[in-house]
A = this chain, B = another copy of it.
Amino acid sequence: MHRVSVDQIVWAAGESAVIDGDEAHHALRVKRVRPGERIELMDGRGGIAEGEVVEGDLGAKSRELHVRVTGVRREQPARPRVEIWTAVPKGGRVDEMIDQLAQVGAAAWRPLDTARGVVDPREAKMERLGRIAVEASKQCGRAWRLEIGPKATMDEALRAAPGVRVVVADASGSPWSGAESSEHLRLLIGPEGGWTPEELAAARTANASISRFGPHVMRIETAAVAACAMLVSVAASA
């Protein structure tokens, strides 16, 4: 079924929704949706309107997509909530990572400022990552889109609210067994050069779990995807 991103779900069942702009263009010209076809409008924050493409609005010059809304529903966010905060991979690898994190079910990603990190994403890159997160979340049918948050320091990362379990990925840790899972997890992944002894000491002081997520050395983006899949799966198998 084709899905369209919208800012807000403002319709009730029986009402008509009119979509314009890029999303309408994509649906009409690229996906070539047809009258009578089922479609979903998603706000990326749990709101979903189901509907049917309305006949007679798909002429060659049509720039608007008309949808007759047949039902509106609201989905709860997934549990556990898994946040992935990482040092930033170089070049296009961060784009791929965001795309993959949306697919495996991370709730949020934030760039983490680490002692040995070398990439500091600028505003333009952060905006691009936000667009990738929206598109990837839509592609894989997420009711709640992957959130892209602002850069965080290690202090912020380790100073978690009650109920948030902070997990630091490091080869020195015990293999992740799921026993330390929680309804709200925050996973920290360090840069290619690894954590400094000071960062690991701060993690221990903050009572974070230090865990490993595989037998080998992984690049940032591979570790993020592999570990996220394991953290998310606790809920699925519980």
Of B96, B175, B230, which one neighbours A230 at CB under 8 angstroms?
B230
With contacts A226-B226, A229-B226, A229-B227 taken as known, whether A140 is within 8 angstroms of B218 at the C-beta atoms is yes
* Interface pairs (13), CB distance under 8 Å: A99-B222, A100-B225, A103-B214, A103-B216, A104-B218, A104-B222, A139-B217, A141-B216, A175-B233, A175-B236, A175-B237, A178-B237, A215-B232
With contacts A176-B237, A229-B227, A237-B176 taken as known, whether A105 is within 8 angstroms of B222 at the C-beta atoms is no
A113 CB to nearest chain B CB (Å): 24
Indicate whether A219 reaches chain B with its CB closer than 8 angstroms.
Answer: yes
Of B104, B175, B213, B216, which one neighbours A214 at CB under 8 angstroms?
B104
Task: Please report which residues of chain A, range 84-111, place their CB below 8 angstroms from some CB of chain B when the two chains form the complex.
Answer: 96, 99-100, 102-105
With contacts A229-B229, A232-B214, A233-B230 taken as known, whether A222 is within 8 angstroms of B175 at the C-beta atoms is no
The number of times this chain is found in the oligomer is 2
Query: Is the CB–CB distance between A176 and B233 below 8 Å?
Result: yes
Ranked 9 nearest A-B pairs via Cβ = A226-B229, A175-B236, A177-B237, A140-B216, A140-B217, A103-B218, A103-B222, A100-B222, A175-B237
Task: Please report which residues of chain A, range 180-238, place their CB below 8 angstroms from some CB of chain B when the two chains form the complex.
Answer: 212-219, 222-223, 225-230, 232-233, 236-237
Chain A residues within 8 Å of chain B by Cβ, number: 36
Residue from the set A102, A178, A218 with the largest chain B CB neighbour count within 10 Å: A218
Query: Is the CB–CB distance between B216 and A104 below 8 Å?
Result: yes
CA distance A217 to B136 in the complex (A): 10
**Contacts of A100 on B, CB cut-off 8 Å?**
222, 225
**Contacts of A236 on B, CB cut-off 8 Å?**
175-176, 212, 214-215
Indicate whether A142 reaches chain B with its CB closer than 8 angstroms.
Answer: yes
Query: Is the CB–CB distance between B230 and A229 below 8 Å?
Result: yes
Question: Residue of B at shortest CB range from A78?
Answer: B215
CA distance A198 to B78 in the complex (A): 32
The contact string, 1 if C-beta is below 8 Å from chain B, for chain A 63-94, is 00000000000000010000000000000000
The contact string, 1 if C-beta is below 8 Å from chain B, for chain A 122-150, is 00000000000000000111100000000
